[in-house]
Chain A
Amino acid sequence: MTSDHAARIWLRIGVTARGEPVTVGHACAAVVDDVGADGAGVTVMASPTVRETIHATDRIATELEEWQLSFGQGPCVDAFADGGPVLVGDLDRPDYAQRWPVFTPAARDSGARALFALPLRVGAIRLGVLDLYRTKPRPLTAPELADALVYADVVGTLLLESARRGTDDAPPDWPRDDPTVDRAQVHQATGMIIAQLGVRPDEAFARLRAHAYAHDRRLGDVARDVVQRRLRFQPDPPSDGGRQ
């Protein structure tokens, strides 16, 4: 991701939020506008069976999330399982009725004709899915897809941060101007912390970010210290999440 693109989208969401703390709802409203969708929903998934819709912009979006959760099939379910987006430009194409026999007719009855499910993932860390729909069939253009992917990155960040701080409305500070977020060492360090603490990947990643935040350092720099074994995380840590 180029940082300019991400910064532009954070700014857009900030404008939508009108000075209030940024939420997933603001991101959904902004992405609908920016990519020419008719609505959006976000479902958080702890596992394929434990999931909850935390935001939907309207009736159709609400129903689409409901159908997928109750039928256990649909683009959102596949995106969560597979790790990649599922992009359906025209739901009327016959193969979709075969792929999701119960979901597809229900989604069409609700009024959706195009669906785009974007997984909210950081490698093995699965957070949930951002779903977009259109009432007329039309695929995402390349610029629309680029925006949608950055919005999915932003929503993922909001979910990670709200989990770390235990609140929904605390805006993250680091991801907007930290170009080191995507570095390979960040993910390697997460893996090392999983082994050091015996915790799940989402918690390991939260500990790494908490340490960077508490010490006002860039995520990539802290990650490098972990990978080079200059920084080890200890079980039952002090409040800052790590020791040097």
Chain B
Amino acid sequence: MSVQQAAEAFVELADTLIDDFDLVDFLSQVTHRCADVLSVAAAGVLLTDQRGGLRVVAASTEETRLLELLQTQIDEGPCSDCFHTGRAVVVADLSTETERWPRFATEAIRTGFHSVHALPMRLRSDVIGALNLFGRRVGVLDDETIRLGQALADVATIGLLQERAIRHRETLAEQLQTALNSRVVIEQAKGVIAERRQVDMDQSFSLLRNAARNTNRRLSEFAQAVVDGTQPA
């Protein structure tokens, strides 16, 4: 990681927040920047579903295995612990945690990850979700990199507040639920495109996002149109 790279990432994310933007698209950019700037293999954002669980809203790759791994953390895993305690969870070697998180640790190792960090997304006294960082090698990120990761988690949180202000949503609950539903619309649209173009889910997401950008439309609105059949894809 270079200072230059980190600065560029924050400038780019701050730029996005000025304009009309799509929250899921923004969170997906944050996870991409995490992977680049923090030199981790993969990153994902989980938000509270406000029913006591967590749901995946963005990931640095849309590979099914990563999404599924992130989602195993409804009941157990570093994100779940981080969300419930509000504190960062750092795991240098997942093979030592198979008793603590039998399902998550086994699944993560099988996917090729050996270390994991979970950083809280905090808003005043509430924890609204967590940022997950996965490494392919055993070991922990240094303090400076963790601080940078936490700053990226904070930017992700600001994105939620900012989109709410732009769309005149009254409560954070309204915003969170809208984001979770947008994520479902995007999964449905990925399916439509994967079938029509015979591509995998990761490629399908790229096609979807590029098509939305090329037509200057918000990702979730574009995805809705693809699923409704009003937008050819």
Contacts and interface: CB of A to CB of B under 8 A. Distances in A.
B8 to A, nearest CB: 31
Nearest to A142: B50
Interface stretch (A26-34, A35-43, A177-185): A177-185
B142 interface: no
A11 interface: no
B124 interface: no
Residue with the highest number of chain A CB atoms closer than 10 Å, among B51, B169, B190:
B51
Contacts, number: 130
A191 B188 contact: yes
Interface string A154-193: 0000000000000000000000000000111101111111
Q: How large is the interface on B (under 10, 10 to 19, 20 to 34, 35 or more residues)?
A: 35 or more
A5 B52 contact: yes
Contact of A195 (B50, B74, B191): B191
Interface in A184-227: 184-185, 187-196, 200-201, 227
A145 B173 contact: yes
Given A2-B75, A189-B191, A192-B195, A184 B53 contact: no
Interface string B174-213: 1111110110111111111111100001000000000000
A88 interface: yes
A183 B188 contact: no
Nearest to A226: B191
A190 B185 contact: no
A84 B180 CA distance: 9
Contacts of A122: 184
B191 A188 contact: yes
B227 interface: yes
Given A1-B51, A2-B74, A184-B64, A87 B190 contact: no
B68 A183 contact: yes
A188 B49 contact: no
Residue with the highest number of chain B CB atoms closer than 10 Å, among A1, A183, A191:
A191
A236 interface: no
Given A84-B178, A194-B227, A196-B195, A123 B184 contact: yes
A107 interface: no
Contacts of A149: 49-51, 177
A15 interface: no
Interface of B: 49-53, 55-56, 64, 67-68, 71, 74-75, 167, 169-171, 173-179, 181-182, 184-196, 201, 223-224, 227-229
23 contacts: A2-B51, A5-B52, A84-B174, A84-B176, A84-B178, A87-B171, A87-B174, A123-B181, A123-B186, A124-B188, A124-B224, A146-B52, A149-B51, A184-B67, A185-B68, A187-B187, A188-B187, A190-B188, A191-B187, A194-B191, A196-B195, A200-B228, A227-B64
Interface of A: 1-2, 5-6, 82-88, 119, 121-124, 142, 145-146, 149-150, 153, 182-185, 187-196, 200-201, 227
